[in-house]
Structure 1
Amino acid sequence: MTSDNFIKIKAPSSKSMSHRALIAGAFSDGSTVVLDPLDSNDINRTMDCLSTMGAEFSVEQNSTVAIGMQGGPRGGAKEPAVLEMRDSGTTCRLLTAIAGAGKGVFRVQGTPRMHDRPIGELTNALESQGVKVTFADKQGYPPVTLESNGFIGGEIEISLEESSQYLSGLLLAAPYAHETTVIKVVGKKAVSWPYVALTLKVMEDFKISFSVEKLKDGQWEKTDWRTVSKVVPGEIRFRVNPSDYQRDSYSVEGDWSNGSYFLAAGAVGTKPVRVEGLAIDSLQGDRAIVDILKAMGAKIESDSSGVTVYPSKLHGIEVDMGLCPDLVPTVAVAAAFADSPTTITNVAHLRIKECDRLDASATEVMRAGGKAEVGDDFIKIIPAPLKKGEKIVFSTYDDHRLAMSTAIFSLAGIEAVAEEPQCVAKSFPDFWKEWDKIKKGNGC
């Protein structure tokens, strides 16, 4: 197929990898060149907070130079260094842990929605490391003040029922501990494991000394972290030794989360879509969009430089999306184009994202004419005739993923309008410019 016969999109750089690479660069001695980091509001939050703690950044056209903190994260001596998270949940969870491993007083704060998102599981772990934690208002929620003299090391327990970012933050911070740190996963279940794998990849790439151990026949045995596909609480732990981040340069790969809207557009539209810059062997959990769309009946081809999705007749499936929660709004909208119901399970943690993404996704599917049911841990999409020919203003909930996913409804003949189009700047400022290519190619 010639290039004239499909719509070509370049995937933006990975938000998850950009956060982690810039953090690792800020921890390194000297300077690290981070190539192709994502330019977005969330990434700017992370850099601003790291700068408050002592790092420096020089932003150039296709790279950012990170100049490492001298002696680790630094807070205020008496008055706290203010870490302004705004609405970036990733920044909040990763850098709260990192502040805990620093020295001085830090205040973690953000938007009203951020102050409704729990962080108590993480701060409990920080308290076990000698950090003094003081909540300003509601116990277990920001704003919160941390007073720290660095991590003690030793054993830490953390539950991943709410977020894997708690563990990622502790892992990134643990090399600063005074002695070896052993982090054990506890609780009833663990969500979003692939994001932890991304953290371990960056740590390995920056020469951090660590190992992953699994419980086998009552004994802890080292295992290759790349072979871990599922985490069973109580049966896995992470051993991180005091060590220095070291890397001259680091290249950030394309983002499967933000590529998902265009891949779904290829399946439900009238013209194939090719998304370039996506590595099919990526550790990103949202690479699962390929398997999900294939299971729904989409024809997909991939090579070393990208993925192409062809217009296809979709049918409903039942799918556990506990490992790839950011894809749920995309899949919910794509499911409204199918010929039978789709049930998405193991996604209770979506209720504490930028908004309650289960209720919000259901509401917007119904606004477009579809039907939806929501439970504590699932969402079911029941296809019904969509409102072709109508202009619909979709609520965005100040949530970038809702805004981008509902744009897909324009391929149903709906004049889809985002209530707050600017909210996509959180992760993908150029989304609407790229989406215009989809609309033009489909004659919208």
Structure 2
Amino acid sequence: MTQEPIVINAPPSKSLSHRTLIAAALAKGTSEISSILVSDDITRTRNCLTACGAAIEEKNGNLIVTGMEDGPKGGNADGKHKGEKPHELFMHESGTTCRLMTAVAAAGHGTFHVHGAPRMHERPMGELTTALVRLGTKFDYEEQEGFLPFVMKCKGYTKKNVDITLEESSQYLSGLLMGAPMADHDVTITITGNKAVSWPYVALTLRIMEDFKVSFTVEQKREGTWQETPWRCVKGITPGTIRFVVKPTGYDCSDYRVEGDWSNASYFLAAGAVGKRPVLIKGLAADSLQGDRAILDILSQMGASIKVNFDGILIEPSSLRGIQVDMGRCPDLVPTVAVAAAYASSPTTIENVAHLRIKETDRLAACAKEVARTGTSTEIREDSLIIRPGRLPKGHTIDFTTYGDHRMAMSMSIFQLAGIDVSLDNPTCVGKSFPGFFDEWNKIIG
């Protein structure tokens, strides 16, 4: 007899919630945003946008966003009040807020003090700030060059061309793309460097810009000439062969519904594969541009039984095997896959994830150390993580360290399905992206 599935409603997408709020705040007029994620990180972005001049109110569970008149404004925006303090942009621990809002604020006028929690001050920003200097922004670093905290003096994007690498984060490009429509002229952003990570997040940015009526083109170099390419046809970035030309159109207001989050659904999809009962996830777009939709392909390669239908995504208990997988496009899934790999019958190698070292914590080291607490053998190489499964210690209590990292807390919870008594040092850190996680997770373990 087939067991009834556990039904889970996917939370709204964090990535799309950030981008939708920013687009609505930059738009002329008023937008109504529904199904937006309520979390610590989204609150940081919301607070930064109101500091820059947007008005955001709650109404019947939706957000009513009235855009800034002429783009972001900081202290001493008009140059008349010399003693006026910079506007505060406090990022706390939200890397997405920091990278997107720093670039967006630089597209405005005025002075901004950008700072955050201690870990945020350790995360590199030099690639982005160097690009913004080329566009006309001036930085006064309070501690180390290329890192928060700093004060930036902005007169908009005064130059027409800028280069950026995507070796550390695709969010640098996303921030520049979102700021560029506020310029007085076309802005061309060319991708340089040796490699590019997380292209799907750039696709999400372009989708939101298109939905809010920004005009832009994507051009690829073929036989020495730049040729326009439909952006949805781009599946990845080769540095030196792609650039983005953004028109000075600004944004139009729009009523917008945020789709479900594949990143935060990944824990429940993994639970369906390694647990005792099938799990049905509702609210996910099967054709989503979110890079973390890759969890379906990864779990399928590992042997999971997955069915996509009108009710949602159904995943059933399965015997998993190890795989070799490049996760450069979906780094947020690495903790989920690392834990699922501990349930497999053979080793898993997760490749192209060196950039995990500059997440909320050194997520590469954290995954290796915490998964190893279960007796699983783990090994870190320069840009990869190897998981060699053993026998999971059913009936044992294991104290896991979260490092204040929401994804570590949620992924380590999956070990409960092996009969391990999971103890987390800081379970409340899930509030960064998914405050209701444990309410939903109790349906899995209940």
Note if contact 1:278-1:305 (Cα within 8 Å) is conserved in structure 2. no
1:71 alignment counterpart? 70
> Which position in structure 2 is the counterpart of 1:229?
235
Q: May I ask how many residue pairs the two structures share in their alignment?
A: 439
| Offset of residue 130 of structure 1 | 1.0
Q: CA deviation at 1:303?
A: 1.9
Gaps of 5+ in 2: 77-83
Structure 1 partner of 2:126: 120
Structure 2 letter corresponding to 1:69 = M
Deviation, structure 1 residue 138: 0.8
Correspondence for 1:264 among 270, 286, 309: 270
Supply the distance in 2 between the matched residues of 1:267 and 1:120 (Cα, whole angstroms). Answer: 41
Task: List per-residue Cα deviations over 1:106-146 (Å, max 9, x = no partner).
Answer: 01100100000000100001001111011110111100111
CA shift, 1:304, in A, is 3.8
CA distance in 2, matches of 1:98, 1:187: 23
CA offsets per residue over residues 45-76 of structure 1, 9 Å max, x none? 00000000000111234311111011110000
Q: Which residue pairs with 1:198 in the alignment? A: 204
SS in 1 for 2:162: strand
Residues 250-291 of structure 1: per-residue CA shift (max 9 Å, x gap): 110000000000000000001101110111100000000000
SS of residue matched to 2:206: helix
- What is the one-letter code of the residue matched to 2:304? A
**Counterparts of 1:276-425 in structure 2 under 5 Å?**
276-425=282-431
- Mean alpha-carbon deviation: is it higher for 258-267 or for 303-312? 303-312
Structure 1 residues 313-372: Cα deviation after superposition (integer angstroms, max 9, x where no partner): 000000000000000000000000000000000000000000001110011111122110
Q: Which moved more, 1:204-213 or 1:61-70?
A: 61-70
Task: Name the CA distance, whole Å, in 2 between partners of 1:395 and 1:425.
Answer: 16
Q: Which residue of 1 aligns with 2:61?
A: 62
Shift of 1:305: 4.4
Q: Distance in 2 between matches of 1:201 and 1:259?
A: 21
Matches within 5 A, 1:11-26: 11-26=10-25
Alpha-carbon separation, structure 2, partners of 1:364 and 1:65: 42
TM-score (ref. length: structure 2) = 0.97
CA contact (8 A) 1:101 1:148 kept: yes
Q: How far apart, in 2, do the equivalents of 1:337 and 1:300 lie?
A: 17
Superposition pairs of residues 28-107 of structure 1, within 5 angstroms: 28-77=27-76, 78-107=84-113
Point out 4+ residue stretches in structure 1 off by more than 6 angstroms: none
Amino acid in the other structure paired with 1:426: K
Contact 2:136-2:159 within 8 A present in 1 as well: no
Amino acid at match of 1:36: S
* Structure 1, 27-36 or 285-294: larger mean CA deviation: 27-36
Q: How large is the RMSD of aligned CA atoms in angstroms?
A: 1.0
Distance apart, 1:247 and its partner CA: 2.9
Answer whether contact 1:153 1:178 (CA < 8 A) is retained: no
Contact in 1 for aligned 2:30/2:254 (Cα 8 Å): yes
CA contact (8 A) 2:29 2:253 kept: no
Structure 1's unaligned 5+ residue stretches are none
Deviations 1:96-115 (A, max 9, x none): 00111110100110010000
Question: 2:340 is matched by which residue type in structure 1?
Answer: A
What amino acid maps onto 2:138 in structure 1?
A: K
TM, length-normalised to structure 1: 0.98
Separation (CA, whole Å) in 2 of partners of 1:290 and 1:223: 28
Q: Which residue of 1 aligns with 2:80?
A: none
